[in-house]
């Protein structure tokens, strides 16, 4: 059984390594060195963890992080009759180490994140799943919605 909790600055090195592993697993070898990436990613994670806009859930097994799920709170422009600080959650950077997949750990993190989001009155959660993760999200209550529009430069 995994221990699910919010990440702290003490988790920085493990989170950077997992982001590196996630990226190389999905996209291949990077053109930057791990050392360069460590500096860039560490700077981002420090700001994120210290902010009130990013929350990172991790799952530990034997004191090692084996899975994570990031949530960015997106503040909406207030509307009459709505909460004074309405926001929704953008779920991103969801990753479980290969040796720990299909053991329910991702669902444990998702449940913790969803419970927290409901308690904080997050209006809804949104994400862009990979083709291989659609089934996981459907199992956890997500539904397809109309595609967002995007513009590439």
pLDDT digits (tens, 9 = 90+) for 100-152: 999 999 999 999 999 999 999 898 899 888 778 888 888 888 788 776 777 77
Q: Which two tokens stand for residue 14?
A: 């493990």
Predicted pLDDT at 133 = 82
Contacts of 140 (CB under 8 A, 6+ apart): 107, 110, 111, 114
What is the C-alpha to C-alpha distance for residues 14 and 49, in angstroms, rounded to an integer?
14
Predicted pLDDT at 83 = 61
Predicted pLDDT at 59 = 97
Predicted pLDDT at 18 = 96
Q: What is the pLDDT of residues 44-98, one digit of tens each?
A: 999 999 999 999 999 999 999 999 999 999 988 877 876 667 789 999 999 999 9
Judge whether residue 99 has pLDDT over 90.
Answer: yes
What is the C-alpha to C-alpha distance for residues 109 and 5, in angstroms, rounded to an integer?
8
Domain range annotation of the chain: 3-139
Identify the burial level of 106 via C-beta atoms within 10 angstroms of its C-beta, where 0-12 means exposed, 13-18 middle and 19 or more buried: buried
Q: What is the pLDDT of residues 8-40, one digit of tens each?
A: 999 999 999 999 999 888 777 778 899 999 999
Predicted pLDDT at 69 = 96
Tell me which fold the domain 3-139 belongs to.
Aminopeptidase (3.40.630)
Q: What is the pTM of this model?
A: 0.88
């Amino acid at each position: 059984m995994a221990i699910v909790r919010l990440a702290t600055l003490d988790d920085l090195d493990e989170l950077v390594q997992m982001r590196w592993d996630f990226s190389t697993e999905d996209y291949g070898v990077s053109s930057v060195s791990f050392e360069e990436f460590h500096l860039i990613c560490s700077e981002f994670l420090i700001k994120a963890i210290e902010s009130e806009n990013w929350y990172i859930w991790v799952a530990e097994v034997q004191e090692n992080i084996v899975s994570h799920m990031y949530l960015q709170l997106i503040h909406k422009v207030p509307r009459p009759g709505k909460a004074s600080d309405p926001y929704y959650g953008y779920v991103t950077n969801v990753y479980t180490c290969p040796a720990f997949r299909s053991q329910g750990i991702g669902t444990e993190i998702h449940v913790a994140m969803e419970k927290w989001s409901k308690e904080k009155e997050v209006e809804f959660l949104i994400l862009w799943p990979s083709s291989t993760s659609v089934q996981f999200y459907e199992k956890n209550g997500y539904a397809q919605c109309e595609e967002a529009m995007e513009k590439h430069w």
